[in-house]
């Protein structure tokens, strides 16, 4: 769980990088940027907003030989150990970014290397380093009084409501490559930021496995349960799956299958599907893990629990009380009308 509200900016180093492939240059500021309270508040919102809005998918630094050979990891580790070297190391980080800026699609932009204190992650207060890049420029209007008239001036700048690229590196799990969050709003150069520059791979923790296993179940429901049974059973399978995760602290696959798959004939289908599709979700060899409650809550919000009928009627199933959907909704076939029907039982209509 991440809490960025108490975080404070300790220093900001500001540089700019061009596209090396196009012969553009790099500019490294001689001194750190001088902050006032107003600017600090605006920059915090600019840097943090996408991380508050985005699902927490953590990464860690990696290298094919050893994480110690990852350039950004080395600089960040030195920075955490000696914050007085932040500006010097920010130049090293920005130069490394410039060296990766050699694809024709990569845009020039400003680079911010920021030292944060009082970030709360997993209920522990720690330091963090942020590396951000602004790329897209937007036209805006500025107004100027000239004698008896008001003039319009067209200027260009960045939109502080949308960060183009950024990462937050938390001073935890150093030996494993730290805990890192990353955002990239511009998908035309996805490898450049995440892989070429940062060298990140997904952090396979309980959040990762919980989220990916539920995504795998959602695909199984669509590809196997729906064709074998019907839409109601597809919805109810995911209903039972999510509730199994919600009420348990640890996941054990055999218990999950026995509780969630009411049709025992689907158990070998599930195991076969896992062999086939599991690698896509990095869960092919995973059958036991701790459950992350936040990942379950996030998944519950995204899973569709509505049966859409071709008669323009929707039936919404209740994920909180799955027994209601099973006890009070029946599916049948009307011979006279040659149509399927759902029979819904209730005592009284709820007021909206």
* pLDDT reported for residue 342: 81
- pLDDT band at residue 318 under the 50/70/90 scheme: low
Query: Which of 159, 152, 165, 148 has its CA nearest to residue 108?
Result: 165
d(CA 12, CA 32): 6
For the chain, percent of residues with pLDDT exceeding 70: 95
Q: Where are the domains of the chain?
A: 2-134+161-203, 207-344
d(CA 151, CA 75): 48
* pLDDT reported for residue 155: 87
Give the mean pLDDT of 125-149. Answer: 91
d(CA 146, CA 258): 78
**Residues 241/224, Cβ–Cβ less than 8 Å:** no
* pLDDT reported for residue 324: 60
* pLDDT reported for residue 34: 92
- pLDDT band at residue 293 under the 50/70/90 scheme: confident
DSSP string, 46-84: HHHHHHHHS----EEE--SS-GGG-HHHHHHHHHHH-GG
238-278 pLDDT per residue, tens: 888 998 999 999 999 999 999 999 888 899 999 999 999 99
* pLDDT reported for residue 147: 86
Give the mean pLDDT of 280-309. Answer: 85
166-214 pLDDT per residue, tens: 999 999 999 999 999 999 987 767 689 999 999 999 999 898 999 999 9
* pLDDT reported for residue 108: 92
DSSP state of 123: T
* pLDDT reported for residue 337: 85
Q: What SS3 state is found at 12? A: strand
Q: Count CB-CB contacts under 10 A for residue 62.
A: 19
Give the mean pLDDT of 71-99. Answer: 96
4-54 pLDDT per residue, tens: 999 999 999 999 999 988 889 999 999 999 999 899 999 999 999 999 887
- pLDDT band at residue 326 under the 50/70/90 scheme: low
Answer yes or no: pTM beyond 0.75: yes
Q: What is the mean pLDDT of the chain?
A: 89
* H or E element, residue 93: helix 86-100
* pLDDT reported for residue 302: 75
* pLDDT reported for residue 18: 93
338: burial class by Cβ within 10 Å (0-12, 13-18, 19+)?
exposed
Q: Which of 115-124, 266-275, 323-332 has the lowest mean pLDDT?
A: 323-332
């Amino acid at each position: 769980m991440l809490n960025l509200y108490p975080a404070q900016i300790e220093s900001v180093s500001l540089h700019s990088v061009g596209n090396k492939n196009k012969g553009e240059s790099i500019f490294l500021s001689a001194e750190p940027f001088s902050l006032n309270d107003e600017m600090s508040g605006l920059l915090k919102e600019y840097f943090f907003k996408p991380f508050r809005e985005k699902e927490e998918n953590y990464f860690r630094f990696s290298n094919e030989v050893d994480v110690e050979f990852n350039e950004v990891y080395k600089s960040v580790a030195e920075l955490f150990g000696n914050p007085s070297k932040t500006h010097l190391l920010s130049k090293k980080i920005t130069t490394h970014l410039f060296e990766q800026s050699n694809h024709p699609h990569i845009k020039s932009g400003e680079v911010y290397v920021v030292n944060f204190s009082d970030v709360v992650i997993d209920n522990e207060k720690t330091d963090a380093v942020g590396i951000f890049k602004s790329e897209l420029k937007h036209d805006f209007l500025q107004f100027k009084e000239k004698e008896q008239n008001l003039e319009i001036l067209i200027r260009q700048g960045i939109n502080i409501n949308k960060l183009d690229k950024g990462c937050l590196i938390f001073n935890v799990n150093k030996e494993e490559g730290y805990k890192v969050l990353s955002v990239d709003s511009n998908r035309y150069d996805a490898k450049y930021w995440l892989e070429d520059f940062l060298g990140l791979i997904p952090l396979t923790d309980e959040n990762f496995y919980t989220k990916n296993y539920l995504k795998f179940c959602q695909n199984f429901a669509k590809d196997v349960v729906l064709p074998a049974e019907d839409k109601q059973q597809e919805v109810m399978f995911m209903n039972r799956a999510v509730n199994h995760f919600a009420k348990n602290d640890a996941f054990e696959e055999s218990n999950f299958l026995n509780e969630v798959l009411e049709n025992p004939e689907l158990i070998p289908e599930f195991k076969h599907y896992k062999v086939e599709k599991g690698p896509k979700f990095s869960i092919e060899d995973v059958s036991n893990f701790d459950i992350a409650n936040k990942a379950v809550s996030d998944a519950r919000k995204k899973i569709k629990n509505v049966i859409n009928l071709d008669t323009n009627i929707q039936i919404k199933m209740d994920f909180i009380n799955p027994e209601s959907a099973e006890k009070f909704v029946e599916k049948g076939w009307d011979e006279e009308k040659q149509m399927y029907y759902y029979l819904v039982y209730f005592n009284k209509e709820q007021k909206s």
